[in-house]
Structure 1
Amino acid sequence: MSEYTYPHNEALFLFNRVLRIPELCQQAGLDELNDELISAVLGEAARFGSERLAPSNRDGDLNPAYMTDDGVQEPSGFAELYREFCDAGWPALIAPTEFGGQGLPNVLSVAVHEIWNSANLSWALAPLLTQGAMEALVAHGSDQLKSRWLAKLVSGEWTGTMNLTEPDAGSDLAALRTRAEPEGDHYRIKGQKIFITWGDHKMASNIVHLVLARLPDAPPGVKGISMFLVPKYLLDENGEPGEKNDLRAVSLEHKMGIHGSPTCVMSYGETQGAIGYLVGEEHQGLACMFTMMNSARQAVGLQGLAVAERAYQAARQYARERVQGEIDGQRVTIIHHPDVRRMLAQMKAANEAMRALAYEAAAEVDRARLAGDEQSRAAHEARVALYTPIVKGWLTELAQEVVSLAMQTHGGMGYIEETGVAQYVRDARILPIYEGTTGIQALDLVGRKILADQGRALEALLADIDASLAAADRAGERVKQRMAQALSTVRETIALLMEGGENDPLSARAGCVGLMMQLGYLCGGWMQLRASQCAGELLLQGEGDEPFLMARQLSAELYADLLLPRSESLKYAILTNASALMAIGEEQF
């Protein structure tokens, strides 16, 4: 089994040079959060991730959560790790200070969550969902709900979940059937939810479920959905968990991967009805849930990077140790073979681009929050909206390729469970599916983020890429050349797609996944361009770690050679003849 080490130097290079996060911290009034403190936070997170979480990853895969007469039992050792995690204050990192949080920037939290997800994806899903529940309550909860529930979520004493999916209502939430009957100052919830990650466990003294349900007078469709806070245990007069609520996990899903994470079928209201409390306004539950879901979608994209990084490190270690073949009459490790180097280089360049884009998207959330005027805030919010489906869709799809290359690097040993790399392939496969499939992300990108505003937000992004190209006097020449070509291709594709969409409404939907991937490769190339430029400036000034900076420029060139040209071939897939697709008879598939 390979060890895991957070790429600390790469992260600090992104924070301090490419994304200029210390400047963002000063804007937020966090002057003490300088590059030294950022390095210390990431270093301590990396220590906990590599020394404590990573060794538990395999155990959770082999000995998963299971049902007992007293509910779900999480894998052995997970609860102890969770207590250490909470004792160190990690759940409170970005929560508001008035609820016991540390109020640090979102981008720092995202970097820390990369570590948790690389170290043990199954375990890391619990704090991820808890953070999402906190954000939803901060944004939409009443003062009473916040005062009763937030502090314990912030401390990690209680965990949170989100409950959307039902047996007959997957991505189509209009079909949702769970009911909520008003009763005094609360509601009685009755219904069943499926695919509820960490829906039950024994790691925390309470679990706060955010549940979508319909009121008796609810209009049909998604406009009739409300959100409710439904705890596992009701609170007593001291605000502590008391009586068990009328809800339970009735079974666990048997999954391809993320075995250590219990995925529950939840039953609400088998007797009198589970007591719940309205979050936000009646019939506005979907808007409340999307506060949580949009955060979760970027977080799932980050998971793609995280598993890809763990798989790459395993492949790199194996390639350095596995002796096979000869060069000039000498037996060599396989890292000396050009094709193995190609696979490692492609994985490394892809991971660096994914990391930079995930951190950039996270920083945009901070920039929107800290904007000094409404126009600036709106521009940053539009950029966040544009980034979200790309981060979720492109990162998770590209992660499939990276983990597959990691297995390929291992050869036949990769297909053997004992080496551990097969787990990364299995774990990563859920990522393009949950929190909205790749197709749903792409439809959202094209329909709600591009066509809805006639491409204005997208053109602002492309203009920023143009500006980076114009200023890139120290970036690699091949990076600049390939980026200019890719940018031109994307503009051509967008123009043709929007023109064709007027005559063929299905064309945008048929080509949306290709467009999302094309924009992903372009944005990844933009991140590599900026990294190459920063590395070139530091080399010229004689600052920094010269071998690292030179390798960083080479990696940007390899991204330009191995991955960026895909934008051209994707153009033809994007402009698919939708009429021909729909003309094929159902029985001919």
Structure 2
Amino acid sequence: MPEYKAPQRDMRFLIDEVFDFHAGYAAMGASDATPDMVNAILAEGAKFCEQVLAPLNRSGDEEECQINEGVVTTPKGFKEAFAQYVEGGWNGLSADPLYGGQGLPSSLGLIVSEMVGSSNLSWGMYPGLTHGAMSAIHAHGSEAQKQSYLSKLTEGRWTGTMCLTEAHCGTDLGLIKSRAVPQADGSYAVTGSKIFISAGEHDMSENIVHLVLAKLPDAPAGTRGISLFIVPKFLPDAQGEAGARNGVSCGSIEHKMGIKASATCVMNFDSATGYLIGEANKGLNCMFTMMNHARLGTGMQGLCLGETSFQGAIKYASDRLQMRALTGPKAPDKAADPIIVHPDVRRMLLTMKAFNEGNRALAYFTAQLIDQAHSGESAEQREEAENLLAFLTPICKAFMTETGLEVTNHGMQVFGGHGFIREWGMEQLVRDCRIALIYEGTNGIQALDLLGRKVLGSQGKLLRGFTKIVHKFCEAQAEHPQLKGYAAQLATLNQQWGALTQKIGMAAMKNPDEVGAASMDYLMYSGYVTLAYFWLRMAEVAEQKLAAGTDDAAFYQAKLATCEFYFKRLLPRTATHLAGAEAGSDSLMKLPAEHFAL
């Protein structure tokens, strides 16, 4: 298995130099999030992930979770690692101090989650789902519900889940069959079965708090009739502790391609006692609080696994000897040259590096927007951050996972035949990454959300909110001696983005299928242009640091070299996606469905 080392230098580059998190923290009154505190969190988080979580990654994949008469046990070491995580205060890092949290900015929690996901994605699913449940209860729960559940969830004694999917419906939640019948005491009897429930049952906490979508007896049809319920595994007793067992059970766990140490459960609710959270028939609104958080976290999983894969690939490529360089021996004292000297291996490694570092910049910018949306100085600032978040979330989820899978595939390829062998650990990263393109809304759904709901649905407002930022930045770099060529290239694509959107919108007025036909290419085009903007921002800082003189010149020179690679080798992919998005729906819809049959 690759030996994971948290990329703290690159993290600090973004936090300190590109996005100036510290000024943002000061503006939002986060006085505890000092530069020294942030550095300490990075250092200690890295230590925990490198020394505790990473060594459990491969063994967890091989051992998997086990189920015996409804009782699920996690792989060896997982429970102890969770206890250490909780004892270290990591679970409540960004949680509300009113309920025992440390109250640090959400962005810091997301940065720690990157290290967790990179070191052991399966293990990270357990606290990850809990944070989503906490955010939904905090945003929509009554004060009594917050008092009952948030302190225990923050403390890590209890964990949480989100229960949406049923066997007959995935994204189309309006089709759910789970029912909630009102009881005389104000609770509800929840009955139904949910599938694909991450961390639905396990042995790492005293209680599991399920957030369950269900319909009331008189609910309107479709998504307008969905309500959200808190359904704990054990009902809180008079002292607020885990008491009597509720009517909740795990029917089975899935045997999966990847993230095998994450318990993916079939959860059965048999007249289980539940408590309405938020308003009746408004459950989907409450659940989106969890889902938006989860979608950014899922997008980051592409970055997480890509980073670990890159670290393994770069070490292997530096050590593995094969053939001589085309320009002559580079290691004449050895039997052959290390494969890192070969152009095609360089292509793969630079592709990995460019996507990882570009995706990290996108993720950290988006994390900063979450801070601003929650704690912005003015209503206008908070609204602007919310709009940018709405626009960027589907790009984060889909583009970062699509490119993350490409990166892990490259990492396996760098190893050649050894990459296909389990003991090296590279194939596990590919398997683990594959689910990220599927869950929390498939990437096809994210593409529809971006183009149909966010861009066309807002009459282009959300798109313009971001393209104006890119336009102003390109204008500012138009005369930059080293960057003006990149700025002109990005400015052209940014303008083309708007024209493409208008063209699809006009076509969709005549045929709605045009949106679905263009959406995936449109999202990928959007992702490449978005990353180009962040690469140019990083390049600007690197140029400034080199011009001023620095002891870390190699780091900044690497940034500039990788930026050049991105603009010359990866950004041109936009041309293919542009052509695909403009091609229309005819070639997709022409073949009758029955002709697909053998």
TM-score band by shorter chain is: over 0.9
Distance 1:437 1:571, change over 3 A: same
Which residue of the partner structure matches residue 348 of structure 2?
343
Structure 2: distance between partners of 1:76 and 1:491:
52
CA distance in 2, matches of 1:538, 1:62: 46
Q: Shift of residue 243 of structure 1? A: 1.0
The alpha-carbon distance between structure 1 residues 227 and 287, as it changes in their structure 2 partners (threshold 3 A), is same
Q: Deviations over 1:368-423 (max 9, x none)?
A: 22223322222211100001100001001111111111111111111111111000
Matched, 1:538 2:545: yes
Deviation per CA, 1:53-88: give whole Å up to 9, x if none: 001000110000010135111111100000000000
Deviation string for 1:445-476 (max 9, x for gaps)?
11211011110121121110011112233753
Q: CA RMSD in A?
A: 1.3
Contact 1:93 1:109 survives alignment (8 Å): yes
**In the aligned structure 1, how far is the partner of 2:450 from the partner of 2:132?**
22
2:419 is equivalent to residue 414 of structure 1: yes
* Residues 1:553 and 1:100: Cα distance change in structure 2 (over 3 Å): same
In the alignment, the residues of structure 2 paired with residue 98 and residue 514 of structure 1 have an alpha-carbon distance, to the nearest angstrom, of: 45
Quote the residue 1:148 is aligned against: 148
1:84-125 C-alpha deviation (Å, 9 max, x unpaired): 000000011111111111111111111110000000000001
For the 8 Å contact 2:28–2:376, the answer to whether it is kept is: no
SS in 2 for 1:249: strand
Shift of 1:172: 1.0
Give, as a single letter, the amino acid of the residue that structure 2 aligns with 1:31.
S
CA distance in 1, matches of 2:316, 2:306: 15
Contact 1:482 1:565 in 2 (8 A): no
Length-normalised TM-score, structure 2: 0.96
Runs of 4+ aligned structure 1 residues displaced above 6 Å come to none
Corresponding position of 1:527: 534
The answer to whether the Cα contact below 8 Å between 1:489 and 1:567 also exists between their aligned partners in 2 is no
Partner in structure 1 of residue 294 of structure 2: 296
- Equivalent position of 1:230 in the other structure: 231
Question: 1:431 is paired with a residue of what secondary structure?
Answer: helix
Residue pairs, 1:97-112, within 5 angstroms: 97-112=97-112
Contact 1:315–1:410 (CA<8 Å) still a contact in 2?
A: yes
Rounded Cα–Cα distance in structure 2 between residues aligned with 1:156 and 1:31 = 25
Please tell me whether the aligned partners of residues 205 and 241 of structure 1 are also in contact (alpha carbons under 8 angstroms).
yes
Deviates further, 330-339 or 520-529 = 330-339
Q: Secondary structure of the equivalent of 2:435?
A: coil
Alignment of 1:426 onto 2:453: no
Instruction: Kindly indicate whether the alpha-carbon contact (under 8 Å) linking 2:32 and 2:104 is maintained by their aligned counterparts in 1.
Output: no
Distance 2:40 2:560 in 1: 26
Structure 1 residues 475, 108: closer, same or farther in 2, change over 3 A?
farther
Q: Which amino acid aligns with 2:277?
A: V
Contact 2:474/2:488 (CA < 8 Å) preserved in 1?
Answer: no
> What displacement does 1:185 show?
2.2
Query: Residue 130 of structure 1 aligns to which amino acid in structure 2?
Result: T
Contact 1:476 1:557 in 2 (8 A): no
Q: Secondary structure at the match of 1:268?
A: strand
Cα shift at 1:544:
5.7
The Cα offsets for residues 418-439 of structure 1, whole Å up to 9 and x where unpaired, read as 1110001101000010000011
Equivalences for 1:233-382 in 2 at 5 Å?
Answer: 233-269=234-270, 273-327=271-325, 328-329=328-329, 330=332, 331-382=336-387
CA distance in 1, matches of 2:247, 2:516: 43
Q: Report % sequence identity.
A: 41
Superposed displacement of residue 34, structure 1? 2.9
SS in 2 for 1:250: strand
Which sits farther off after the overlay, 78-87 or 568-577? 568-577
* Equivalent residue, structure 2, for 1:216: 217
Aligned to 2:69: 69
Helix, strand or coil at the partner of 2:568: helix
Structure 2 gap segments, 5+ residues each: none
Contact 1:206 1:231 in 2 (8 A): yes
CA distance in 2, matches of 1:47, 1:474: 41
Distance 2:550 2:110 in 1: 27
Letter paired with 1:363:
Q
The residue type equivalent to 2:437 in the other structure is: P
Q: Aligned equivalents of 1:374 and 1:326: distance in 2? A: 62
Query: How far, CA to CA, are the matches of 1:580 and 1:70 in structure 2?
Result: 49
User: 2:17 maps to which residue?
Assistant: 17
Deviations 1:314-365 (CA, angstroms, capped at 9, x unpaired): 1111111111112335321111111111110110011001110011111111
User: 1:496 maps to which residue?
Assistant: 503
**CA 582–322 in structure 1, closer or farther in 2 if over 3 Å, else same:** same
Q: CA deviation at 1:161?
A: 0.2
SS at match of 2:98: helix
Q: CA deviation at 1:171?
A: 1.2
In the alignment, the residues of structure 1 paired with residue 219 and residue 575 of structure 2 have an alpha-carbon distance, to the nearest angstrom, of 48
Report the CA distance between 1:543 and its aligned residue. 3.9
Shift of residue 561, structure 1, vs aligned partner:
1.4
Distance in 1 (CA, whole Å) between partners of 2:373 and 2:521 is 28
Partner secondary structure for residue 323 of structure 2: strand
Residue of structure 2 aligned with 1:483, choices 478, 486, 490? 490
Deviations 1:209-237 (A, max 9, x none): 00001111111111111100001111111
Unaligned 5+ runs, structure 1: none
Once residues 214 and 533 of structure 2 are traced to their aligned partners in structure 1, the CA distance between those partners, rounded to angstroms, is 42
Shift of 1:584: 1.2
Note if 1:80 corresponds to 2:87.
no
Alpha-carbon distance, 1:583 to partner? 2.2
Query: CA contact under 8 A between 2:70 and 2:252: conserved in structure 1?
Result: no
**Does the 8 Å CA contact 1:474/1:537 hold for their aligned counterparts?**
no
Aligned equivalent of 1:387: 392
- Aligned AA (2:234): Y
1:551 is displaced (CA, Å) by 0.9
Q: Match for residue 508 of structure 1?
A: 515
Q: Within 1, Cα distance between the matches of 2:158 and 2:207? A: 5
Counterpart Cα distance in 2 of 1:504 and 1:293? 30
In 1, the alpha carbon distance for the partners of 2:512 and 2:543 equals 46
CA contact (8 A) 1:301 1:396 kept: yes
CA offsets 1:241-283 (integer angstroms, 9 cap, x no match): 11111111010111100000010001111xxx11111110111
Matched with 2:181 is: 181
8 Å Cα contact 2:470/2:491 also seen in 1:
no
Q: Secondary structure at the match of 1:324?
A: coil
Within 1, Cα distance between the matches of 2:589 and 2:70?
51
Report what 1:460 is aligned to. Answer: 465
Question: Is residue 165–residue 171 contact of structure 1 (8 Å, CA) maintained in 2?
Answer: yes
Moved more, 33-42 or 206-215: 33-42
User: How many Å separate the matches in 2 of 1:392 and 1:296?
Assistant: 9
* Separation of aligned partners in 2, 1:90 and 1:544: 33
Q: Give the superposition deviation at 1:484.
A: 2.7
How far is the alpha carbon of 1:538 from its aligned partner? 1.4
* Counterpart code for 1:24: G
One-letter amino acid of the counterpart of residue 312, structure 2: A
User: Paired residue for 1:190?
Assistant: 191
Aligned: 1:574 with 2:572:
no
Residues 32/175 of structure 1: CA separation in 2 closer, same or farther (3 Å cut):
closer
Which residue identity does 1:297 align to in structure 2? Answer: R
- String of CA shifts for 1:162-218, please: whole Å, max 9, x gaps: 000011121111110011111112111111000000100010000000000111111
Distance, in Å, in 1 between the alignment partners of 2:78 and 2:502 is: 51
Rounded Cα–Cα distance in structure 2 between residues aligned with 1:415 and 1:155: 41
Shift of 1:478: 4.7
Amino acid at match of 2:356: N
Change (3 A) 1:458 1:220: same
Distance in 2 between residues matched to 1:319 and 1:120, nearest whole Å: 23
